Amino acid sequence: MTGYEKVRTAEKSVRERTDFKPDIAIVLGSGLGALAEQIENPIVIPTQEIACYPKSTVSGHAGKLVFGRIGNKNVAIVSGRVHYYEGYEMDEVVLPVRLMILLGAKTVILTNAAGGINPAFHSGDFMILTGQIAQFVPSPLRGANDESFGPRFPDMSEIYDKNLVQKAVEAAKEIGLEVKKGVYLQASGPNYESPEEVRAFGRLGADAVGMSTAVEAIAAKHMGSSVIGISLITNMAAGIQNEKLSHEEVKKAADERSAAFVCLVKRLSEKL
Ligand code: HPA
């Protein structure tokens, strides 16, 4: 089965359970899990019950899709992103995002934890993505194209719509949160980068580095969806400060900023 056929099968599987049509899809990164709990009367579908949905590699952390309302919007939340570093093929990595768009989402909000490269950033900052560098990981569009999803050679000159970047900045202002803007670079992981790599990425124009989002943004843009990206800078990338990186530090920073992150994404959803 091609990646596209898998998404269609997954769509049928969801449609046997619900006819909910999301306006917005939100893919949760570290620290945003609490957003799913804010939905009233949610429809919850464990991802393991969806045909062709990639099986979670993290035991005890089964993924789920949560459908419901935030403010005045129908939203679908992906709590069960899969990463390239887990061993999935890129067509599996982008299946959740493609599925959300087939279900009806016109806008996709991609959130993540990332390491700060820009020396003006600090751990705990939020960065609205204005652009991205994805050439260090394979394209999710590699292989036979399905024209009903999008063109063979899709334009990527404005992946993150300028108006939506502005809306995200305004949403932050409204809740009294200062945000940065910048370019996200996707590394393959799972190892954190070396200081030499981080220095090189900075010279290439990256403000932050992470292990998700950019390929999901490509798949969403391919399908003509609007894309918003928000990074939580959980740490400064390797070598920017003289500190070793650990997953514990990333998780701790994500937890500490969880409430603000939830608040920002909620306000933004209401404004879209
Ligand atoms: N590098 C890559 N991914 C990350 C980092 C980092 O420093 N922090 C959180 N996710």
What's the pLDDT tens digit per position in 3-50? Answer: 999 999 999 999 999 999 999 999 998 778 888 888 888 999 999 999
Query: Does 234 contact ligand 1 (Cβ within 6 A)?
Result: yes
Looking at the structure of the chain, the number of domains it has is 1
Question: What's the pTM?
Answer: 0.96
Mean pLDDT of 48-60: 82
Task: Give 24 Cα–ligand 1 centroid separation in angstroms.
Answer: 26
Any atom of ligand 1 within 6 Å of the Cβ of 113? yes
How confident is residue 60, by pLDDT bands cut at 50, 70 and 90? Answer: low
Q: Is the CB of 233 under 6 A from ligand 1?
A: no
Residue 245 beta carbon below 6 angstroms from any ligand 1 atom: yes
Residue from 86, 231, 235 to probe ligand 1 pocket by mutation (most atoms less than 8 Å from CB): 235
Q: Is 250 in the pocket of ligand 1 (CB under 6 A)?
A: yes
CB 225 within 8 Å of CB 101: yes
Q: Which of 112, 125, 184, 245 to mutate to test the pocket of ligand 1 (most atoms within 8 A of CB)?
A: 245
Say which residue the tokens 């603000």 belong to. 260
Mean pLDDT calculated for residue range 238-264: 89
Active site residue 122: no
Cα 114 to middle of ligand 1, angstroms? 4
Q: Pick the atom of ligand 1 nearest to 192's CA.
A: 1
Query: 62 pLDDT exceeds 80?
Result: no
* CATH of residue 168: 3.40.50.1580
User: pLDDT of 186-218, one tens digit each?
Assistant: 999 999 999 999 999 999 999 999 999 999 999
**Which DSSP helix (H) or strand (E) runs through 45?**
strand 40-46
Mean pLDDT of the chain: 94
- 261 contacts 31 by C-beta, under 8 angstroms: yes
Q: How far is the CA of 125 from the centre of ligand 1 (A)?
A: 13
> pLDDT-derived band of residue 238, with 50, 70 and 90 as boundaries?
very high
Among candidate residues 13, 62, 74, 83, the one labeled active-site is 83
Query: Is the beta carbon of 117 within 6 A of some atom in ligand 1?
Result: no
Task: Count, in order, helices (H) and strands (E) of the chain.
Answer: 8, 9
212 catalytic residue (yes or no): yes
From the list 268, 253, 104, 49, the residue with the least C-alpha distance to 179 is 268
DSSP state of 119: T
User: For residue 40, what pLDDT is reported?
Assistant: 82
Task: pLDDT band for 59, please (50, 70, 90 cuts).
Answer: low
Distance 9 CA to ligand 1 centre (A): 33
Which residue out of 11, 30, 222, 223 is catalytically annotated? Answer: 30
In this structure, which residue's CA is closest to atom 2 in ligand 1? 210
Residues listed for the chain: 272
Contact residues for 6 (Cβ-Cβ < 8 A; gap 6+): 52, 91, 92, 95
- Percent of the chain predicted with pLDDT > 90: 84
CB-based contact 272:167 (threshold 8 Å): yes
Task: Look up the domain containing 56 and give its range.
Answer: 3-271
Q: What pLDDT does 61 receive?
A: 61
Out of 131-140, 162-171, 246-255, 263-272, least confident range: 246-255
Distance CA(255)–CA(236), nearest Å, equals: 16
Q: Tell which atom from ligand 1 comes closest to the C-alpha of 193.
A: 1
| Contact 254 CB / ligand 1 (< 6 Å) | no
Active site residue 61: yes
Calculate the CA dihedral of residues 216, 88, 126, 257 and round it to 10 degrees. 140
